């Protein structure tokens, strides 16, 4: 009897020990989890004062934790959060945004992002690179991205004299552009009785040199740079750009007031063309407005650029090059 009781007591003690062990390990695991959580950037950033949303934004933005460590060693950086939230924010450009903002503290953050994305933190023709011609109809040629002297598109076709001025064979463009232009010509003609005419199309390096040097010798470098590209830097060398007027409106000073211009800015994107140098984007494109210069990028991208009111330079930085 006494033996049985002893055994019962023993089991009881063992039972209690097991229960205590279970409780102990539950508490231990919990404590360990808390300890582990305290090591995370989520915890540390929130402890530092960032909100839950801001913390998620920072963690999702920076794979490189050294930036998160840096943030933990300084005051809350609202400017950084606002920069990251900018629509066209590019992580690789972050240091440049911050440097440009420091130099231009009055600029809005969306301007800082836009301008740095299109390289305006460098002077024109500084830090230039050879453009990536493998991008084909989406290659970017501007004051920072150039073509080699010998770059010539392979599929140039002659533009009919029905649609262009000059001797036969003097106006050429890429086949894909010519097809799109003819579609646009037909639409302009049938919808609005507009007779489009091309005044300039593909220009090789040497022709561009002549164009640019003419302006330069007539009115100086600053003026030449505001309206013409230096050789190697003209979109005309891509064979993707057309200067478009009409039989009745062929004056660069007045074309913007013509019905044809209104029709083109409202419709050219439907055929794959964008107005490349708009009036309100001079600081981005680096050229005075050219109501006659249209660049082929294909219908989808032309539509996007038109609908979002951005330049090709901005589009390229964010959607192609990023
Ligand atoms: N006029 C344009 C910018 C060019 O020369 O290519
Ligand atoms: Zn042009």
What confidence tens digit (pLDDT) does each residue in 155-207 have? 999 999 999 999 999 999 999 999 999 999 999 999 999 999 999 999 999 99
Distance (angstroms) between ligand 1 centre and the Cα of 234 equals: 5
Q: Which ligand has an atom closest to residue 233 CA?
A: 1
pLDDT at residue 8 is higher than 90: no
Distance (angstroms) between ligand 2 centre and the Cα of 292 equals: 7
Quote the Cα angle for 250-254-256, to 5°. 100
The residue assigned the tokens 């609005």 is 192
Distance (angstroms) between ligand 1 centre and the Cα of 216 equals: 13
Position 3 confidence tier, pLDDT thresholds 50, 70, 90:
confident
Residue whose CA lies nearest to ligand 1 atom number 5? 228
pLDDT at residue 46 is higher than 80: yes
Report the pLDDT averaged over residues 54-80.
Answer: 97
Distance (angstroms) between ligand 2 centre and the Cα of 73 equals: 51
Distance (angstroms) between ligand 1 centre and the Cα of 202 equals: 11
The pLDDT score that the predictor gives to residue 125 is: 98
Q: By three-state DSSP, how is residue 16 classified?
A: helix
Q: How far apart are CA 86 and CA 80, in angstroms?
A: 10
Q: Which of 285, 240, 284, 276 is nearest to 147 (CA)?
A: 240
Mean pLDDT of the residues in the chain: 96
Residue whose CA lies nearest to ligand 1 atom number 1? 228
The pLDDT score that the predictor gives to residue 140 is: 98
pLDDT at residue 32 is higher than 90: yes
Q: Which of 195, 188, 197 is nearest to 266 (CA)?
A: 188
For the CA of 287, the closest atom of ligand 1 is 3
Report the pLDDT averaged over residues 79-83.
Answer: 98
- Name every protein residue with a CB atom under 6 angstroms from any ligand 1 atom: 227-229, 234-236, 287, 290
The pTM score is 0.93
H or E segment and range at residue 245: strand 241-246
The pLDDT score that the predictor gives to residue 5 is: 72
For the CA of 212, the closest atom of ligand 1 is 5
Distance (angstroms) between ligand 2 centre and the Cα of 265 equals: 15
Q: Which ligand has an atom closest to residue 287 CA?
A: 1
User: Which residues are near ligand 2, the ion (C-beta closer than 5 Å)?
Assistant: 243, 293
pLDDT at residue 286 is higher than 80: yes
The pLDDT score that the predictor gives to residue 1 is: 60
Position 15 confidence tier, pLDDT thresholds 50, 70, 90:
confident
pLDDT higher at 183 or 13 = 183
For the CA of 229, the closest atom of ligand 1 is 5
With b for 16 or more beta-carbon neighbours within 10 A and e for fewer, the 188-209 pattern comes to beeeeebbbbbebbbbbbeebb
Q: Which ligand has an atom closest to residue 238 CA?
A: 1
Q: Is-contact 119 92, C-beta < 8 A? A: no
pLDDT higher at 261 or 12 = 261
Q: How far apart are CA 308 and CA 322, in angstroms?
A: 18
pLDDT at residue 12 is higher than 70: yes
Share of the chain above pLDDT 90, in %: 92
pLDDT at residue 105 is higher than 90: yes
Please state, in angstroms and as integers, the Cα–Cα distance from residue 80 to each residue in 61, 68, 101, following that order.
11, 12, 11
Pocket test for ligand 1, best of 290, 295, 313 (most atoms within 8 A of CB): 290
């Amino acid at each position: 009897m006494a033996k049985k009781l002893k055994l019962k007591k023993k089991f009881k003690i063992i039972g209690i020990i097991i229960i205590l062990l279970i409780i102990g390990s539950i508490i231990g695991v919990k404590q360990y989890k808390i300890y582990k959580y305290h090591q995370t950037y989520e915890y540390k950033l929130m402890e530092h004062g960032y909100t839950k949303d801001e913390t998620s934004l920072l963690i999702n933005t920076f794979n490189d934790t050294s930036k998160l460590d840096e943030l933990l060693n300084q005051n809350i950086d609202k400017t950084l959060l606002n920069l990251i939230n900018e629509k066209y924010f590019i992580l690789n450009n972050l240091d440049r945004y911050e440097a440009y903002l420091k130099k231009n503290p009055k600029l809005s953050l969306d301007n800082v992002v836009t301008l740095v994305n299109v390289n305006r933190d460098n002077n024109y023709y500084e830090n230039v690179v050879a453009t990536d011609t493998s991008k084909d109809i989406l290659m970017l040629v501007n004051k920072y991205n150039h073509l080699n002297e010998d770059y010539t598109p392979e599929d140039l076709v002659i533009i009919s004299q029905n649609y262009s001025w000059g001797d036969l064979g003097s106006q050429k463009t890429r086949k894909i552009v010519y097809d799109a232009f003819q579609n646009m010509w037909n639409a302009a003609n049938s919808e609005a009785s507009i007779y489009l005419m091309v005044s300039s199309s593909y220009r090789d390096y040497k022709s561009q040199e002549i164009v640019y040097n003419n302006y330069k010798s007539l009115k100086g470098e600053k003026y030449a740079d505001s309206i013409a590209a230096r050789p190697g830097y003209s979109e005309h060398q891509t064979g993707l750009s057309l200067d478009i007027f009409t039989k009745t409106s062929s004056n660069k000073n007045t074309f913007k007031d013509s019905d044809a211009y209104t029709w083109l800015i409202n419709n050219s994107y439907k055929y794959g063309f964008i107005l490349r140098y708009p009036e309100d984007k001079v600081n981005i494109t680096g050229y005075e407005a050219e109501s006659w210069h249209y660049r082929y990028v294909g219908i989808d991208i032309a539509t996007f650029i038109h609908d979002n009111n951005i330049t090709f330079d901005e589009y390229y930085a964010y959607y192609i090059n990023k």
